[in-house]
Chain A
């Protein structure tokens, strides 16, 4: 009985040792992953901030104004002016639908229709 207890205890110690060994390496691997992810996040943040700066640079009002001047032919953009304000009453209702004659019906091209006296 006692021998069995000893054996089991010994086996437990060996097992725990093995488990601890594995956990240790798993933790180290996890930490490595974390630091790799952190540096990746840092890189992405850096890229994001550069892109944000570039977005702001490309959308600076001076440049947009120049671009709209260069492309005036196509865009016809002008600075906003008081005359561009309108009233709701100025907006027309949709035009009434005009009913077209039935184009499939046969039409006389020549001759006169017989008229009843």
Chain B
């Protein structure tokens, strides 16, 4: 490019000759040059602006398009970061204290129909009715042809049933995957576990929610996605549960009882090792609740936790223990036991109108189960203190164990605590509580006076219990209870090898219309073993038992609940690893076992 000089000599010279200012030529040229430069830089700027504008446009287009795409498309998990676990099990397993499975999940399928796609509804209805005998052909046919576009046919299918439905081969029959709850042990611990069913149902999955018992109480824990991989460990021991159930079932039949319950509890940790209520049910096929009659007669009813009964003479030890604690009596103090005792318009009588009086030592009041003696002890203590003591033992509140049924079983307590209530409660009438309450209270005595709250979950650390009585009083109470077995009402509990301490209780059943039945009783045996250093508490309750082995029917706990409880201890104690105390002759050459 040729550059025009600012002062071209030829023009300067001619301008000078013409007398003009040559500087104007320079200015003129400079202006022209600047004009050119400006024009050039304007073009360049315009070009840059265009490019910049284009790139911004493209950038925003890309961002906008991506946003639109993200908003319009189905959300998808990043495939590379897909978690390996959490594919199965939307509900955690339940195991016993040794890790044996009590509840788990099983993959199965639900069957549904889309009648619009169905080729031959008539044939489908006919063949389905053959596969599922509980479905009626006419019913199915009507539902498949009444114009609806979707219907559930079966919630759970076995693989064989699924194969048969496959073989019908109709495109209108479809399967949805399901997880169902399975209780491999069947009836064992059915009341504790409760049951589960489906909540919100979709085609691809369904919620599994607890309907009763522990499954319902701990629903949130069991369904918590962070904890589904970790099984929930219970305090129950499957072997013990099975042994207790077997013995209790046999005992219930032998004693002609219509129901029975047992609670076995570790007093140091508060863990419940076995909880049985009979009759029971299969949680895999949970029966429907009774619509009429007494709900207490349903197999779903948990007698150990839900049932509140007047537990009879088993309460006497509480009155006596409190009097010992307050220093009012000693085990050998004589108290008035002259029956019948008259209090206002009431007459307090002994069993079968016995009279153990005129005086009995406190230890004998317990051993002979004297109502009058206990009443006098309770009157010494007084109603207010009695109430406070029973409250610390937990008789005024539902038990804290992890079942929905426990929350609703509040003990029935008199509102107006008059002296006559003090008397009747001292021997277990006028206050209804569940066998579970009794187990918790007896555990406090067995554990040296420290009450540890009961639980159904395995405890890693034992919570600090509350002291309800001194260790000395607890020891004296246990000794008195051992006396009941040794020479009192529970002599059938004398076992070779294991010393049991316990108290019998026979309570007449209240009529729904008021008053008491003559020949219907609730028999309870509250026991602890081994008696010299109690480690376990066992409560056995029989509903309406009668022992017909003698010449006349016997309905006292000593003849019914005690032998059953003794058999339970005989079976359970070796399983718990308690060494029996048997006097063995010293081993010599004759008794020693020689292995060849």
Contacts and interface: CB of A to CB of B under 8 A. Distances in A.
Contacts of A52: 101, 104
Most buried by B among A84, A90, A94, A95: A90
B582 interface: yes
B186 A60 contact: yes
A77 B239 CA distance: 15
Interface string B358-399: 000000000000000000000000000000000000000000
A1 interface: no
B89 A49 contact: yes
Most buried by B among A56, A83, A90, A95: A56
A60 B246 contact: no
Interface stretch (A18-26, A35-43, A99-107): A35-43
Interface string A22-66: 000000001100110010011001100110111111011110010
Contacts of B106: 49-50, 53
Given A53-B106, A81-B570, A82-B498, A87 B587 contact: yes
Contact of B570 (A41, A61, A82, A85): A82
Nearest to B105: A49
A5 interface: no
A117 interface: no
Nearest to B241: A61
Contacts of B186: 60, 62
Contacts of A31: 79-80
B79 A92 contact: no
B239 A45 contact: no
A80 B242 contact: no
A75 interface: no
B586 interface: yes
A108 B580 CA distance: 59
A68 to B, nearest CB: 12
Contacts of B101: 52-53, 55-56
A95 to B, nearest CB: 6
Nearest to A80: B574
Interface residues of B, number: 46
Nearest to A89: B587
Contact of A56 (B104, B573, B575, B586): B104
Nearest to A93: B592
B242 A90 contact: no
Nearest to B79: A31
A91 interface: yes
Contacts of B70: none
A21 to B, nearest CB: 19
A65 B87 contact: no
A111 interface: no
Interface string B79-108: 110101001110000000000111011110
B104 A49 contact: yes
B107 A50 contact: yes
Contacts, number: 106
A32 to B, nearest CB: 9
A19 B243 CA distance: 70
Contact of A61 (B188, B591, B596): B188
B595 A62 contact: no
A60 B184 CA distance: 7
A56 B104 CA distance: 9
Interface in B19-73: none
A62 B580 contact: no
B571 interface: yes
B48 to A, nearest CB: 24
Interface string B480-507: 0000000000000001111000000000
Contact of A60 (B188, B570, B571, B580): B188
Nearest to B586: A89
Contact of A62 (B188, B587, B591): B188
A42 B497 CA distance: 53
A100 B480 CA distance: 63
Given A61-B242, A91-B593, A85 B185 contact: no
A92 B101 CA distance: 40
Contact of A95 (B182, B246, B596): B596
Given A31-B79, A60-B184, A92 B594 contact: yes
B570 A35 contact: no
B1 interface: no
Nearest to A87: B584
A57 B238 CA distance: 13
B579 interface: yes
Contacts of A85: 497, 574, 579-580, 582
Contact of A82 (B185, B242, B243, B582): B582
A46 B242 contact: no
Given A38-B87, A53-B184, A84 B574 contact: yes
A82 B573 contact: yes
Interface in B236-258: 238-239, 241-243, 246
Contacts of A61: 185, 188, 238-239, 241-242
Contacts of A80: 571, 574-575
A87 B583 CA distance: 11
A82 B574 contact: yes
Contacts of B184: 53-54, 56-57, 60
Given A49-B106, A53-B184, A90-B587, A62 B242 contact: yes
Contacts of B238: 61
Contacts of B497: 82-83, 85
Given A53-B182, A56-B104, A85-B580, A42 B188 contact: no
Given A49-B106, A60-B186, A90-B593, A65 B88 contact: no
A53 B104 contact: yes
B595 A38 contact: no
A38 B594 CA distance: 59
Interface of A: 30-31, 34-35, 38, 41-42, 45-46, 49-50, 52-57, 59-62, 65, 79-85, 87, 89-92, 94-95
Q: Sorted from nearest, which 7 A-B pairs have the closest CB atoms?
A: A61-B242, A56-B184, A56-B101, A82-B497, A82-B580, A57-B184, A42-B87
22 contacts: A30-B80, A31-B80, A35-B79, A41-B87, A45-B87, A49-B89, A49-B104, A56-B185, A60-B184, A61-B241, A61-B242, A62-B188, A80-B571, A81-B574, A82-B570, A82-B573, A82-B574, A82-B580, A85-B497, A87-B584, A89-B587, A90-B592
